């Protein structure tokens, strides 16, 4: 398959790019700077991820758009995810690419009510602005005609963990105190969902298992 990846220079994005390339897929990475560090096997395109015309040109000929983008500073880019999702939605009208698999986070939107008290408190305070951006983007996504999949990982970690569980959000009553997910597993789920075309128009909670 052919993938356009947004966020390819981040820790999770880099893992997705490597995993996809290792399995024989083709990857185009849309990055802000042409000299960004990306797997040399990938095709590099520089441009603004919030510009629908840029995304449409980069997505042309690909099978799916994958996003691992996250704002490094909610103060400097408070609507980065919302603006990017809006651009991806608009780009599909030109590119014809309507498959979109994106990383969000457990605690966003309806999942907040399923979090434990202490974790929910963290989401409502420290992560409030970051999660507000993600939640706003998902309102746009759900109203779109895209064939989207939203992944909700727990707290991200860098462990070399290769086992994980998946559950559709609406099937979950309550989550454990501190759910955690390795970036490697986040990347693997993105790839499997795109390749196997699973969980279309669903929100999926992905967490590490022992």
Q: What is the pLDDT of residues 16-30, one digit of tens each?
A: 999 999 999 999 999
Fold of 2-208: Rossmann fold (3.40.50)
Interatomic CA distance for residues 144 and 100, integer angstroms: 11
Q: What is the pLDDT of residues 43-94, one digit of tens each?
A: 999 999 999 999 999 999 999 999 999 866 656 767 999 999 999 999 999 9
Domain locations in the chain as residue ranges: 2-208
Instruction: Tell me what percent of the residues of the chain surpass a pLDDT of 90.
Output: 73
Confidence (pLDDT) at 49: 96
Confidence (pLDDT) at 109: 76
Helices marked H in 23-115: 52-59, 80-95
Q: What burial letters (b/e) apply to 29-68, b meaning 16+ CB within 10 Å?
A: bbbeeeeeebeeebebbebebbbbebbbebbeebbbbbbb
Confidence (pLDDT) at 123: 58
Kindly report the number of other CB atoms within 10 A of residue 122's CB atom: 15
Q: How far is CA 155 from the centre of its chain?
A: 14
Q: What's the pLDDT band for 34 if we cut at 50, 70, 90?
A: confident
Q: Which tokens go with 30? A: 């849309």
Confidence (pLDDT) at 128: 62
Query: H/E/C letters for each residue in 164-188?
Result: EEEEEHHHCCCCCCCCEEEHHHHHH
Q: What is the pLDDT of residues 163-203, one digit of tens each?
A: 999 999 989 888 777 789 999 999 999 999 999 999 999 99
Residue 120 has pLDDT above 60, yes or no: no
- Let me know if 195 is exposed, middle or buried by CB neighbors in 10 A (0-12, 13-18, 19+): middle
C-beta separation of 154 from 180 below 8 A: yes
Q: What's the pLDDT band for 125 if we cut at 50, 70, 90?
A: low
Give the torsion through C-alpha atoms of 152, 157, 162, 163, to 10 deg: -50
DSSP string of 83-129, one letter each residue: HHHHHHHHHHHHH---EEEEE--TTSGGGGGGS-HHHHHHHHTTTHH
């Amino acid at each position: 398959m052919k993938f356009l990846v947004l966020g390819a220079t981040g820790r999770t994005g880099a893992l997705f790019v490597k995993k996809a390339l290792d399995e024989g897929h083709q990857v185009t990475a849309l990055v802000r700077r042409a000299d960004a560090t990306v797997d040399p096997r990938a095709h590099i395109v520089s441009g603004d991820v919030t510009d629908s015309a840029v995304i449409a040109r980069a997505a042309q000929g690909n099978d799916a758009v994958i996003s691992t983008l996250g704002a490094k500073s909610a103060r400097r880019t408070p609507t980065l995810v919302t603006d990017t999702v809006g651009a991806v939605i608009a780009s599909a009208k030109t590119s014809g690419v309507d498959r979109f698999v994106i990383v969000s986070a457990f605690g966003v939107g309806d999942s907040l009510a399923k979090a434990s008290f202490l974790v929910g408190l963290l989401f409502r305070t420290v992560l409030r602005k970051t999660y507000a951006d993600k939640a706003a983007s998902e309102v746009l996504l759900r109203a779109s005609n895209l064939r989207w999949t939203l992944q909700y990982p727990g707290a991200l970690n860098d462990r070399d963990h290769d086992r994980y569980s998946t559950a559709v959000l609406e099937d979950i009553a309550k989550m454990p105190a501190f759910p955690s997910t390795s970036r490697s597993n986040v990347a693997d789920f993105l790839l499997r969902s795109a390749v196997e075309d699973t969980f279309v128009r669903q929100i999926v909670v992905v967490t590490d298992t022992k």
